[in-house]
Amino acid sequence: MLAAGRAAESGAAVLLLEKTEQPGKKLLITGGRRCNLTNDRPLEEFIAMFGNNGRFLYGPFKVFFREELKALLGRYGLQTSIEPDGRVFPASMLSRDVVLVFNRYMNDHGVKTQFGARVEGIDVDHGWVVGVRLANRTIPTRAVVMATGGASFPGTGSSGDGYRIAERLGHTIERLRPALVPLVVNEMDCAKNMQGVSLYNVRLTSYACKAEDIDPSLTPPPADCGRGIAGRRPRRPIIESRTGNVVITHFGISGPAVLLMSLAVVDATEQGPVSVAIDLKPDISEQELDQQIRGELSYHGQRSYQNVLRTLVPPRMASALANLTGVPPDRPGHQVTAEERKLLTRCLKSFRFNIQGPLSMAAAMVTAGGVALDEINPQTMESRLVRGLYFCGEVIDLDADTGGYNLQAAFSTGYVAGERAASGIPHTQDSP
């Protein structure tokens, strides 16, 4: 929508082809329908959120970054507000207001639209784009911006068509993987018993080994180590470690900390077994926790073990913990042995799951991989293989953590692609 609007604003006659009944369906559901548009982080940190591929974005960001985005939204009366953590939202906190602005931007500049129009291919002649193919006709054109999105949340229209079309034109598609995705565990019965448990501010660490092989002497680094900080890394004993919220689901684990860690885990599962450990009491040491538990067990000596556990963890987790430690849930607290207490302490400091893999591509918030960056000119977003073909958004091999980075990348690359597609339409003497 931004690419179409900018191309029309730059003087081109533009037709937006959208396969669903309306554009911006995914935009509508972003940020819990509040649309986390962008982020206020310094540029270098912003770029680092995309891992090593982030450097590609210096070009598009130079032309259209968050200030330009805010100015465009402001032109249509939509102000933005910044959360204390740097995330930027429309001040109205309504994603539909962003979609409305983009629709008005397109209308103002005369973009024509056709809905229910699924593009099946792009015709190329002597290295130049010459047409766009729909099921029943071909539309002649000299420039196309491919803004088909990724392969996740296909109900919004993005089902991976762009990758197939680009590949047929000779483009390399870097391996597609689900990112920002819930994880399925092997211990599904255990997860099912704890379904719905929310764990706040726990420490989640992923390991490149089976759960039973986690080396207890490996200490997660004190600060979060995500790819935003460290970049994509080779397989090593600790894959990533983050403090945040985790939700136990009927199939495994989800929640912000899990989603942020998921791509590194998905990549690591392709090379061998992967497990995660949740430190449910990250603010205290194992010894301190052991003392606290000893106090609870003797203070509530007549209460059942399971009831004492409920003072330490959410109720639905208590029976799972009783199972894990092998202590009968109805045993009075004062009869729990020192050894059983130690085992409980270890479980609370390292509650482990073996990871089976990601939930599915459809459930991922973002698709990692896509059209190879070295085949796109970052100054223009034009394909280096096919003249007149431009790429923007998630179809490109760019993805970042949650926080507004993915949308800003889509907006920036879209704006540049639209502008350059309009100006790059070959003059008669250049064309084949």
Ligand X SMILES: Cc1cc2nc3c(=O)[nH]c(=O)nc-3n(C[C@H](O)[C@H](O)[C@H](O)COP(=O)(O)OP(=O)(O)OC[C@H]3O[C@@H](n4cnc5c(N)ncnc54)[C@H](O)[C@@H]3O)c2cc1C
DSSP of 233-293, one letter per residue? ----SEEEEEEEEEEE-SSEEESHHHHHHHHHHHHHHTTS--EEEEES-TTS-HHHHHHHH
The pair of three-digit structure tokens given for residue 399, joined into one six-digit string: 């993805």
In Å, what is the CA distance from 321 to each residue of 190, 191, 216, 350, 388? 10, 12, 19, 12, 60
Span 77-96, contacts to ligand X by CB under 6 A = none
**Is 176 near ligand X (CB under 6 A)?**
no
Residue 295's contacts (CB-CB under 8 Å, 6 or more residues apart) are: none
Nearest to 27 by CA among 118, 149, 113, 145: 149
**Is 407 near ligand X (CB under 6 A)?**
yes
Report in angstroms how near the CB of residue 76 gets to ligand X at its nearest.
Answer: 19
In this structure, are residues 225 and 239 in contact, taking their beta carbons and an 8 Å threshold?
Answer: no
DSSP 316: H
Span 216-255, contacts to ligand X by CB under 6 A = none
Coil, helix or strand at residue 103: helix
Binding mask 355-374 for ligand X (x = CB under 6 A): ----------xx--------
Span 107-136, contacts to ligand X by CB under 6 A = 118-119
Q: Taking contact as CB under 6 A, which single stretch among the options 4-12, 144-152, 209-217, 296-304 is the one that binds ligand X?
A: 144-152
**Is 25 near ligand X (CB under 6 A)?**
yes
Q: Taking contact as CB under 6 A, which single stretch among the options 11-19, 70-78, 228-236, 309-317 is the one that binds ligand X?
A: 11-19
Binding mask 33-72 for ligand X (x = CB under 6 A): --xx------------------------------------
Amino acid at 226: G
Residue with tokens 């993805």: 399
Report in angstroms how near the CB of residue 266 gets to ligand X at its nearest.
Answer: 16
In the chain, count H helices and then E strands: 15, 18
Nearest residue by C-beta to ligand X? 157
The pair of three-digit structure tokens given for residue 47, joined into one six-digit string: 């770029």
Count of residues near ligand X by CB under 6 A: 34
In this structure, are residues 11 and 424 in contact, taking their beta carbons and an 8 Å threshold?
Answer: no
Nearest to 312 by CA among 351, 276, 277, 273: 351
Report in angstroms how near the CB of residue 127 gets to ligand X at its nearest.
Answer: 22
Among 41, 56, 78, 161, binds ligand X (CB under 6 A): 161
Q: Taking contact as CB under 6 A, which single stretch among the options 155-163, 212-220, 325-333, 352-360 is the one that binds ligand X?
A: 155-163
**Is 263 near ligand X (CB under 6 A)?**
no
In the complex with ligand X, which residue's Cβ is closer, 30 or 325? 30
In the complex with ligand X, which residue's Cβ is closer, 17 or 72? 17
Report in angstroms how near the CB of residue 418 gets to ligand X at its nearest.
Answer: 12
- Where along the sequence are the contacts to ligand X (CB under 6 A)? 17-20, 23, 25-27, 29-31, 35-36, 118-119, 147-149, 152-153, 156-158, 161-162, 365-366, 393-394, 404-407, 410
